[in-house]
Chains A and B, each alone.
Chain A
Amino acid sequence: MNSIRNRIQNTLIGMILVVGVFAAIMFLVNQLNVYQNQRIIQTMTMEYSIISMSDNLIKTYNNAGKNSGNMQFFSEYRTIKENLLNVIILLKTRIVSEESRMLLLGVEHTANMVISECDAGLKEIKAGELQNFSEHFAQAHKENEFVQSNTATLLQKELEYLSSTQEKSQQLYFITLITSSIIFLFVIFVMIIYASNFSKQLINPIENLTKSVEQVAAGKMDVLINQELINQKDEVGILSRSFEMMVINIKDMITKLNYSNIQITNSKDALEKGNTELKKLNQFMVDREIKMIELKKRISELEKSSMQQGKI
């Protein structure tokens, strides 16, 4: 049965779903934006660390040269070198923009130059040949400046990218907000029209039925209930059918009552007629008794007069 209760429930569920979906979309867009920004900032931090690592690398190389034979600087150098290479590999997977990717390749190239210069120097130190130490250091220092300048350029590009991404995501956010608002307003509009239609559908039959009920209340039992109401498959339909049944039953009762009233009137008339006849008969009897007394008086008078005539 397509009951009124079900329709109201479905409408409410529909409204809650629409509002929920738009809230979820807005939340997701916002979260995506925050995540993107965080990722870009992390990437930039990593890029920035290349500068210090490259600096540390040549410092360690210098220390290793000055304190030749101290293995601590060798292992420190290896760690820094591995970290630097790892960061560059990791950055390759994280960098998205094509321009930054090209700049990263430049950074990698110059970093490799620094590393190969220092590696070559360290190899000679291990072999005890210290004559080229300063030359390698000066070369590495020069390459390090390129690393630094290239990384700075990369950072600048990344900043520009971040700024453009933020702008884009802000635009996206704005577009989503506008679109969502428009769709939301449209849905609300549709809902209002639906609710108005629905209430008309609900109220019109009730008003219709109310008219019939008022007529019956005013005593007009020959009221006709709209056939559409009777056929309706909801609570109003049930109400209309019950009401129709009630009117039929009342009519039936009235007919029965009228019939018994007629019967009572008939019996009353018959009784009254009988009574009248009885009264009439009684009156005749009483009149007759009076008349008999007079008649007997007359008989004795006549008797007397005939006796007198007889005497004469």
Chain B
Amino acid sequence: MTTSKLEWDEKYSVGVQQIDNQHKKMFDTINRLIELLASKPTQSDVDSIVKALVEYKQFHFKTEEDYFDKFNYEHKEEHKAKHREFNSKLVSLIDLYKEDTIALAFSLVNFLEDWLIDHLMVEDQKYIECFRAHGLK
């Protein structure tokens, strides 16, 4: 069974290669998870990839937030609050579907995609100027 995937596009770019790469990596990981779900996965397969995705997300947040602090970005608290909001939603999702890894994986994928698109195209676009001004490429 095949299903639609969300591919990386330049319109999602924040103009910083390091952060764009991290975003691409997240797109990749989400798409890998979608492929895996389409091929009747075992619970442990899904488990490991979900865990990797969540860990990578945290790593990515830390990268962004480090730059916010470093450049003293004006909306940094607002943005960090978005990250925390994301984390709490993630925790509640994981808690909701703790008995069913596959259902968790699906809702995780859907949630991540929605959130990622909104976040990339709205919130992240806001710090482009700040990051550029500090010479990040």
B37 touching A284, Cβ below 8 Å? yes
A299 to B4, CA, bound (A): 15
Taken residue by residue from 242 to 269, chain A's Cβ proximity to chain B (1 for < 8 Å, 0 otherwise) reads as 0000000000000000000000000000
B120 CB, min distance to chain A CBs, angstroms: 9
B117 touching A285, Cβ below 8 Å? no
A278 to B122, CA, bound (A): 37
Cβ-based interface call for A30 (8 A):
no
Cβ-based interface call for A281 (8 A):
yes
Beyond A284-B106, A288-B106, is A299–B117 a contact (Cβ under 8 Å)?
yes
Cβ-based interface call for A214 (8 A):
no
Beyond A289-B3, A291-B110, is A302–B102 a contact (Cβ under 8 Å)?
no
A291 to B37, CA, bound (A): 16
Beyond A277-B102, A281-B37, A288-B110, is A302–B117 a contact (Cβ under 8 Å)?
yes
A306 touching B37, Cβ below 8 Å? no
Least CB separation from A294: chain B residue: B114
A282 to B106, CA, bound (A): 11
Select one of A278, A282, A285, A306 contacting B121, CB under 8 A: A306
A288 to B113, CA, bound (A): 11
In A273-294, the 8 Å CB interface with B consists of 277-278, 280-282, 284-285, 287-289, 291-292
Contacts of B70 in A (CB 8 A): none
> Which bucket holds chain A's interface residue count?
10 to 19
* B contact face: mostly helix, strand, loop, or mixed: helix
Cβ-based interface call for A295 (8 A):
yes
Cβ-based interface call for B1 (8 A):
yes
Report the tally of A-B residue pairs with Cβ distances under 8 A.
Answer: 50
Contacts of B118 in A (CB 8 A): 298, 302
A302 touching B4, Cβ below 8 Å? no
A92 to B103, CA, bound (A): 139
Cβ-based interface call for A303 (8 A):
yes
> Which bucket holds chain B's interface residue count?
20 to 34
Taken residue by residue from 23 to 40, chain B's Cβ proximity to chain A (1 for < 8 Å, 0 otherwise) reads as 000000000001001101
A284 to B40, CA, bound (A): 12
B109 CB, min distance to chain A CBs, angstroms: 7
A289 touching B4, Cβ below 8 Å? yes
B117 touching A284, Cβ below 8 Å? no
A280 touching B121, Cβ below 8 Å? no
Contacts of A292 in B (CB 8 A): 3-4, 6
Contacts of A280 in B (CB 8 A): 102-103
A284 touching B6, Cβ below 8 Å? no
Beyond A295-B6, A299-B117, A302-B121, is A281–B110 a contact (Cβ under 8 Å)?
no
Least CB separation from B121: chain A residue: A302
In B1-50, the 8 Å CB interface with A consists of 1, 3-4, 6, 11, 34, 37-38, 40
A302 touching B122, Cβ below 8 Å? yes
Contacts of B122 in A (CB 8 A): 302
B118 CB, min distance to chain A CBs, angstroms: 7
Contacts of B113 in A (CB 8 A): 291, 295
B121 touching A288, Cβ below 8 Å? no
**25 sampled A-B residue pairs with Cβ under 8 A:** A277-B40, A280-B102, A280-B103, A281-B40, A281-B102, A284-B103, A287-B106, A287-B110, A288-B4, A288-B109, A291-B110, A291-B113, A292-B3, A292-B4, A295-B113, A298-B114, A298-B117, A298-B118, A302-B117, A302-B118, A302-B121, A303-B11, A303-B121, A306-B121, A306-B125
Sample of 11 further A-B pairs with CB below 8 A, known A284-B106, A285-B3, A288-B34: A277-B102, A278-B40, A280-B102, A282-B1, A287-B106, A291-B114, A298-B117, A299-B117, A302-B117, A302-B121, A303-B11
